[in-house]
Structure 1
Amino acid sequence: MIWPRLQQVALAPVLGVQALQVVRRTPRLPEAQGPRNGITGQGPELRLLILGDSSAAGVGVATQSDALSGHLVRALGAEYRVSWTLIAQTGWTTGRLREVVRHTAPEPFDIAVTALGVNDTTRLIGPHRWLEHTGELHDLIRARFSVRRIYATTVPPLEHFRALPRPLNAVLGGHAARLRSALEDMAAAAEGLRLIAPDWGLDPALMAADGFHPGPEIYRGWGAFAGQLILDDLRAEPL
């Protein structure tokens, strides 16, 4: 872990300039419009909580129907009556969401899906601290919402984000990989924690206009992948 930190320090002047340029040049896209809770499908009841950052909030598409929430809920609704709620906002880190959850009124859910890590990456939050925040967040989700299974989406490969120039993309991509590896280790050792690790692809043509967020096809693939993973688990081991 010493070399990545030295690399960040050595490149700090260049990275700082590039980061400011990215902020100035990248259009700020709105969060997806539409309901952030509802009931969909038929069958046994499944209570779903979706939490996260701008990607969970659907930045990059116009409506929640075309965002992660819409595709995931429709996939699960093929076999369940899904009662769902979305708690997400642009800019949230894992630590910030932890504090939001701490002050959110308790409500029972069966499954939680999280989408976090990009803002932790851009802030260069270290793997140890990130795992600490993640563990605390998961404990709160279980305590306040009675969640029995948590599905954590892996951190996407930032080196492929079209909005990020070199060497900023390489540094952030490397940092994202370290957070991703740390989360994989956590999931391997934690009961009731599964990873959602889609084949991101991140074809520039499929990303949103800002080059930083998913476009409609990426959200569709992500939601379908997560939904199938959860359905397979529920078939093998019902709640």
Structure 2
Amino acid sequence: MKLSTVAAGAATAAATAAGAAVSVLAIEGLLARRRRYLSADLAPPGSGVFGTGRPLRLALLGDSTAAGLGVLVTGETVGGRLAELLSSTGRRVHLSSAAVAGSRTADLDAQVARVLVHGVPDVAVILVGGEDAIAFTPLDVVEAELTATVRRLVAAGSAVVVGTCPDLGAARNFGQPLREIMAWSGRRVAAASARAAAGAEAGVVDLAGRTGGVFRADGGTLSADGYHPSADGYQLWALALYPLVYEASRTTSGQH
């Protein structure tokens, strides 16, 4: 058989395989979009007061996970879990949230403005990146937007902790092979977010690295839509974030 014939056959096979792969991904993407997700209206209140003692203002910014979509009460959100943990150290924690479902890093600037209108938080926790990963936001945009957000909060007097993009490979709403492509995109966004946050003097927690394995192994960490965390999932995130959040709380005066 001539080499040219072999090459032509191989090229045809490769093109056919590529076309099939694109078709599969298109179908998986359509199914993921059509899946019924939790409505943003179902997120619990993002504010509350926890404990007694020296006051501490804790603010949450970011996407639907920062808003607590997937659970029914404030105490089961990441912010609520963190507030409860901090209150056990003798602090009166005033929790607030400016997080909005569907937000990307480019939306954080408006959230910072809403937070600062009500006073400078002692500690600000940012959970964002999933929507950027799904939308394939350019990484330089992710870095620039998150850098600007962290610097603005730090300049105002807040200590900042960033939880980077979680493991999208654990989300059951994506079929394979789309799920692993989303996981790959999430890792890239997480790395860009980590660089930006660290460069702007924020604490960084790799949520995918710290909790992704548990989310992949235990479907109970996800809520009914297979994408947003459940109460157990948010508890895992809060425990991963807490050491840096606690350290940040010790550096603040609580007088903002």
1:226 and 2:241 matched: yes
**What is the root-mean-square deviation of aligned Cα atoms in Å?**
2.4
Q: 1:135 aligns with which of 141, 147, 150?
A: 147
Deviation at 1:118, TM superposition (A): 0.4
Deviation at 1:88, TM superposition (A): 1.4
Determine which structure has more spread, i.e. the larger CA radius of gyration. 2
Deviation at 1:32, TM superposition (A): 4.8
Q: Structure 1 residues 238, 99: CA separation in 2 closer, same or farther (over 3 Å shift)?
A: closer
After TM superposition, the score normalised by the length of structure 1 is 0.84
Matching of residues 73-92 of structure 1 within 5 Å: 73-79=83-89, 80-92=91-103
SS at match of 2:152: helix
Task: Answer whether contact 2:124 2:161 (CA < 8 A) is retained.
Answer: yes
Task: Figure out how many residues of one structure are paired with residues of the other and give that number.
Answer: 227
| Residue of structure 2 in register with 1:195 after alignment | 204
Deviation at 1:111, TM superposition (A): 1.0
| Residue of structure 2 in register with 1:61 after alignment | 71
Supply the distance in 2 between the matched residues of 1:185 and 1:58 (Cα, whole angstroms): 25
SS at match of 1:88: coil
SS at match of 1:214: coil
After TM superposition, the score normalised by the length of structure 2 is 0.79
1:211 and 2:202 matched: no
Q: Structure 1 residues 90, 233: CA separation in 2 closer, same or farther (over 3 Å shift)?
A: closer
Task: Answer whether contact 1:34 1:65 (CA < 8 A) is retained.
Answer: no
| Residue of structure 2 in register with 1:111 after alignment | 123
Matching of residues 22-171 of structure 1 within 5 Å: 22-79=32-89, 80-102=91-113, 106=117, 107-142=119-154, 146-171=156-181
SS at match of 1:62: coil
Task: Answer whether contact 2:153 2:159 (CA < 8 A) is retained.
Answer: no
Deviation at 1:173, TM superposition (A): 0.7
Deviation at 1:176, TM superposition (A): 0.7
SS at match of 1:120: helix
Equivalent residue letter for 1:204: G
Task: Answer whether contact 1:52 1:97 (CA < 8 A) is retained.
Answer: yes
Equivalent residue letter for 1:127: L
Query: Identity across aligned pairs (percent)?
Result: 26
Equivalent residue letter for 1:197: D
**Unaligned stretches of 5+ residues in structure 1:** 1-8
Q: Structure 1 residues 197, 104: CA separation in 2 closer, same or farther (over 3 Å shift)?
A: closer
Q: Structure 1 residues 13, 134: CA separation in 2 closer, same or farther (over 3 Å shift)?
A: farther
Task: Answer whether contact 1:47 1:110 (CA < 8 A) is retained.
Answer: yes
